[in-house]
Amino acid sequence: MKTIKGGYFGRLLRVNLSDLSYKAEEIPEKLLIDFIGGRGLGSKILFDELPANADPMGPENKLIFATGPLTGINAPTTSRFAVVAKSPLTGTIGGCSSGGHFGIDLKSTGYDVLVVEGIAKIPCYICIIDNNVEIRDASGLWGKNTHETTDALLSETDSKAGIACIGPSGENEQLIAAIMNEKNHAAGRGGLGAVMGSKKLKAVVVSGNNKTPVGDKDIVDRAIKQWRIFVGEAPLTKDVLKEYGTPALVNTINHDGSFPSYNFQEGVFNDAESLSGETFKELYFVKRQPCAGCPIACARLTATPEREGKGPEFETIWSFGASCGVNDLEKIIHAYYNCNEYGFDTISAGNTVACAMEMSEKGYFPEPVMQQIREDIGRDLKFGDAGAIVKLSELIGKNEGFGKELGLGSSRLAEKYGHPEVAMHVKGLELPAYDPRGFHGMSLTLATNNRGGCHLRSYLVSTEALSTPFPINRFEKKGKAGLAKLYQDLTTTIDSMVACLFTSFALNPDLYAKLVGTVMGIEMDGNDLLKTGERIWTIERLFNLREGKSRKDDTLPDRVLNQPFTSGLSKGYKIEFDELLDEYYHVRGWNNEGVPEKEKLEELDLV
């Protein structure tokens, strides 16, 4: 049996809001070795403790904040944290990773994990400062946006604390609500802010002075130095992301003819240059604003003549931009600021507005809905309406007018009005800014991702579009199933460490394993790390199977599967999806229905 020498305090804080109780618990070493931390540990706790078919908005659902073994050791990009719960938007296992410095602050309290249970009788917030834990009244904060809440709590508690909170979107239990930390960092996908709102938990405040223990410090320092060298020299992390941030992707993805436009009806946006990283930097960039200890510094402070804030990122520029047919970058920025201040997911929000635009143009809404839209924005809703995205993002935040409908997400909106085919989602989670018709490996990862239509859980775009670490034919299906599994398993471990996905542009499994192993004080190589990622991925799959998900849910919208593009460099290509999925299941050791075989579960020590 391996013995851990560092990376953790081995302590979990469990808070029950129903009776306002809390207790510290030891985390078994085997769990830390088998599931690492962050997303992996959170997924394991949720799988073990949540009964099947539990109401995501009920007292049984757990809201788990988890750090990893690298949190607080001053390695590049390791200030992140994970949040895990059953998603109210998808009904699947829900999990997010967020940057800033909240993760380091949580770890500094001496707890690796915070598990929140039950439902409070009145609004409250959890305050953990050093060894003191309090559940405080937040009635005076209820109704405030995330920026107001953060400022108030920093004044009331500790000016250097990490603050994770919800805005009005989460309070109103909107299914696309996010948890925001340090004002502009989001645990955004899957509606985990609604889970927090359902528990009447306004915020979590964390601050402490505990230092993360490590194994052999000299060896750890050398491994960290090696990480810094690789991250500092890789072209994408050294130059592109530092210079333009994630909006640098706009022209690349648009050039490939796979920049989903007009709600995935087209793959080329003719006004892409107006949304590009170059335009963004020229007109609205103020300065870089990196997460704690991050040398990449992809995030940036921005300002328009009227407002200032952080971001937006590539996905937001796409979702409120090309997806909505909008080329006004300033209006997109204002919509993004609204998302952060009210606290909801920008990808789901922009996608849902785009879905509504198509439904409006095609006459799918009944007249009372159209009358509400006209009352809200002063006209019919159409693609290209820049003013509408700002107004509608405000109404989503306030849960008013047509904003109430949009807060449901695109799947429920389209289903409600009889046209589910217009919603571009997987398992209820809206798709990101990479059209699967142009990236056939990515099509497989988007369809099979455990939390739904997410690009961050296997970023095959890095090789299919960015040629990193090697170029590959984006329309080729041979080998894509194995590559999808590899990237999914690796990304899972990155989320569990908890590190930034962008390090994968510079590091390989052996380099990840070297640092994690030396910090924990155990032997570990790249194969060990990938096996751990496979174990975590599989237990998330088992969670979803228990919730009634199956092969039928591992698919893509009919538009994406059966309507090839008629223009651009992805013109005419059709995904041979069933063949890809069959091979993927085989590579994973699952049966034809996507259920892990007994031998695979035994191999992963999950029986």
The pLDDT value recorded for residue 324 is 98
Banded pLDDT at 151 (limits 50, 70, 90): very high
Task: Please tell me the predicted confidence (pLDDT) of residue 84.
Answer: 98
H or E element in which residue 201 lies: strand 201-207
Which residues pair with residue 429 across a beta bridge? Answer: 426
| C-alpha 589, offset from chain centre | 27
Band of pLDDT at residue 240, cut at 50, 70 and 90: confident
**579 alpha-carbon distance from chain centroid:** 28
pLDDT band at 290 (very low <50, low <70, confident <90, very high): confident
- Between CA 436 and CA 424 the distance in angstroms is 11
Percentage, residues of the chain above pLDDT 90: 90
The answer to whether 11-207 and 242-429 have equal CATH topology is no
Q: Residue 393's pLDDT is what?
A: 98
Tokens of 482: 């194995």
Confidence category of residue 548, pLDDT binned at 50, 70, 90: very high
582 Cα distance to chain centroid: 27
| Mean pLDDT of the chain, nearest integer | 95
Contact between residue 158 and residue 131 where contact means Cβ atoms under 8 Å apart: no
pLDDT score for 243: 86
Between CA 25 and CA 111 the distance in angstroms is 9
pLDDT digits (tens, 9 = 90+) for 383-394: 999 999 999 999
Q: Please give the helix or strand (H or E) that residue 26 lies within, else none.
A: strand 21-26
State the DSSP string of 381-440.
Answer: --TT-HHHHHHHHHHHHHT-TTHHHHTT-HHHHHHHTT-GGG--EETTEEP-SS-GGG-H
Q: Which CATH number applies to 242-429: 1.10.3720.10, 3.40.640.10, 3.60.70.12, 1.10.569.10? A: 1.10.569.10
Residue 324 phi, psi dihedral angles, 5° rounding: -95, 5
Determine whether domain 436-603 maps to CATH 3.40.50.1970.
Answer: no
Q: Which amino acid is at 76?
A: P
Say if residue 470's pLDDT is above 90: no
User: What pLDDT, on a 0 to 100 scale, did the predictor assign at position 297?
Assistant: 84
Q: Which residues make Cβ contacts (< 8 Å) with residue 489, sequence separation at least 6?
A: 530, 531, 533, 534, 537
3-class SS at 445?
helix
Sign of CA dihedral 535, 537, 538, 543: positive
C-alpha 272/C-alpha 393 separation (Å) is 22
* For residue 298, pLDDT beyond 90: no
Q: Across the strands, what pairs with 168?
A: none
Query: DSSP 3-state assignment of 140?
Result: coil
The residue count of the chain comes to 607
In this predicted structure, which of 76-90, 285-299, 502-516 has the lowest mean pLDDT?
285-299
Diameter over CA atoms, the chain: 70
User: What's the per-residue H, E or C state across 64-94?
Assistant: EEECCCCCCCCCCCCCCEEEEEECCCCCCEE
**Mean predicted confidence (pLDDT) in 154-182:** 97
pLDDT confidence tier of residue 1, bands split at 50, 70 and 90:
low
What count of other Cβ atoms lies within 10 Å of the Cβ of residue 474? Answer: 22
**pLDDT tens-digit series, residues 20-30:** 999 999 999 99
Provide the 10 A C-beta neighbour count for residue 423. 26
Could you tell me if 571 and 257 are in contact, meaning their C-beta atoms sit under 8 angstroms apart? yes
- The predicted model gives 442-459 an average pLDDT of 94
**Residue 380 pLDDT class (50, 70, 90 cuts):** very high
* CA dist 53 → 235, 373, 553 (Å): 46, 36, 17
- Rounded to the nearest 5°, which phi and psi values hold at 275? -110, 0
* DSSP calls for 288-323: E-PPTT-SS---EEEE-SS-EEE---HHHHHHTTGG
In this structure, which CATH number among 3.40.1440.10, 3.30.565.10, 3.60.9.10, 1.20.190.20 belongs to the domain 11-207?
3.60.9.10
Dist CA 64 CA 14 (whole Å): 9
Q: At 11, phi and psi to the nearest 5?
A: -125, 140
**C-beta neighbour count of 25 within 10 angstroms:** 13
Q: What is the DSSP string of 333-372?
A: HHHHHHHHHHTB-HHHHHHHHHHHHHHHHTT-S-HHHHHH
| Other Cβ atoms closer than 10 A to 566 | 9
Domain boundaries, the chain: 11-207, 242-429, 436-603
How far is the C-alpha of 261 from the C-alpha of 284, rounded, in Å?
23
Q: Is the pTM of this model over 0.95?
A: yes
Reply yes or no on whether the pLDDT at 376 is more than 60: yes
β-sheet bridge partners, residue 430: 425
Average pLDDT over residues 481-493: 96
